[in-house]
Amino acid sequence: MSKTFDAIIIGAGVIGTSIAFHLAKRGLKPVILERRQVGFGATGSSSGLVRMHYDLELESRLAWESFQYFRNWGERVGGECGFRRTGFLHIEPPQHRDKLRANVEMHKKIGIPTEVITGDEVKKLAPFFKTDDIEIAAYEPESGYADATLTANSLLTAAKSLGSSYAQDCEVTGAHLTGTKVTGVQTTRGDFSAPIVINAAGAWAGKISDLFGVPIPLDTWTHDVLHVRRPAQITDHPTVIDSSLNMYFRPDSGDLTLIALEDDSRLGEPPEADLGYAAKDFVERAIERICMRIPSMEEGSLHSTHVGRDGLTPDQRAIIGAAGPEGYYLVTGFSGTGFKLSPAVGLCVSQLIVDGKSTAVDLTGFDPKRFERGEMLKGEHDYGFIWRNEDP
């Protein structure tokens, strides 16, 4: 016998669990279907940066709305998300100085606490950094990082306390339609019925969407991450996106620093492919890169590596909205930057479904049909693609 719910959410990462939490707050009884376990996909390997600096205003607005959750997690959701305030620096190459200033002004208009600081001021914030090449940087004193797996589990616990259900080891294998309307899905654990199906399956979203007859332009992006143990003299440092060196890094517990690169990520691997090991030259390149910004890291030591995978769209921006048969929604393609947006995405998607329009932040820019129209989301003062294919 088919199990009946108000909505079916495919995927138990931070996006899916956030949607479930917010729908349940609105009085719906959703079920999350997860092929493995909570946070198995991109969430489980997320670097967890919590910052608001984007060159696209829409993403900055979502990040700012989400930040209200991260800094007040216990009151807004309950449980823990592991947020730690470290301050955040965004460094761009000199040719982007005017764009960086313009984007900081855009952020200030939103209400984001941020400012442009000089290289000398960066040196005061982070004395171990080499700053000779930094003319200016954007600084967000309230930003930092959080624990993505803890966040997803907290959202799931809160959603279940409000009446949501969760089915683990439950792979979606087919779609049920009546005429032009969604009526449910077929899974390895039987049939589930609902008038609403939300595809939040990350790297698997393209395969799921094919079941509903809605092809989407979704590639996969496979990303290597490194942890190094800091030398004793480096006690702490801010969270940093350093696009002048095509990398980002942040502190972690246990005197560790997490490092990842923005260039030479692997594209097009099957979503189900074994994540395996980091690329053979990744560790060498990442250590070389971090030592260019923090020379004394040469005295550190390798701790560990891990690999993650997410869905990547042609403009490296999310796909959010109704698509195809009535009741079918896409919330996917976050291209490696979805974690920090997830609380607001869940809120806005719940508004879109219940009220017919997202009001906390207008999501229409993420329209799934934009690619059919030949449109690409691009910031007014854009820095180019986040994930690049060339060395700095």
The DSSP string of 202-255 is GGGHHHHHHHTT-----EEEEEEEEEEEPPTT-----EEEETTTTEEEEEETTT
pLDDT 10s digits, 193-226: 999 999 999 999 999 999 999 999 999 989 999 9
Query: For 153-157, what is the mean pLDDT?
Result: 97
Share of the chain above pLDDT 70, in %: 98
Decide if domain 84-144+221-307 falls under CATH 3.40.1710.10. Answer: no
pLDDT band at 263 (very low <50, low <70, confident <90, very high): confident
In the predicted structure, residue 63 carries a pLDDT above the cut 60: yes
pLDDT band at 392 (very low <50, low <70, confident <90, very high): very low
In the predicted structure, residue 101 carries a pLDDT above the cut 60: yes
Angstrom distance (rounded) from CA 312 to CA 323: 18
In the predicted structure, residue 390 carries a pLDDT above the cut 50: no
pLDDT 10s digits, 268-302: 888 888 887 788 899 999 999 999 999 999 999 99
pLDDT band at 1 (very low <50, low <70, confident <90, very high): low
pLDDT 10s digits, 361-370: 999 999 999 9
Task: Kindly calculate the radius of gyration of the chain based on its CA atoms and give it in whole angstroms.
Answer: 21
Does residue 41 sit in helix, strand or coil? Answer: coil
In the predicted structure, residue 388 carries a pLDDT above the cut 70: no
Tell me what the pLDDT averaged over the chain comes to: 94
Domain ranges of the chain: 84-144+221-307
- For residue 229, the model assigns a pLDDT of 97
**Predicted TM-score of the model (pTM):** 0.95
**Helices and strands (DSSP H and E) totals, the chain:** 9, 22
List Cβ neighbours of 372 (8 Å cut-off, separation of 6 or more): none
- For residue 275, the model assigns a pLDDT of 82
Angstrom distance (rounded) from CA 322 to CA 223: 29
41 or 58: which carries more pLDDT confidence? 58
As to burial, measured by CB atoms within 10 angstroms (0-12 exposed, 13-18 middle, 19+ buried), residue 207 is: middle
- Cβ contact 349:198 at 8 Å: yes
Q: In what order do the strands lie in the sheet with 144-145?
A: 49-50, 144-145, 84-85
- Cβ contact 297:268 at 8 Å: no
Angstrom distance (rounded) from CA 335 to CA 366: 13
- Cβ contact 193:302 at 8 Å: no
47 or 21: which carries more pLDDT confidence? 21
pLDDT 10s digits, 116-148: 999 999 999 999 999 999 999 999 999 999 999
Strands 30-33, 165-167: parallel, antiparallel or unpaired by DSSP?
Answer: parallel
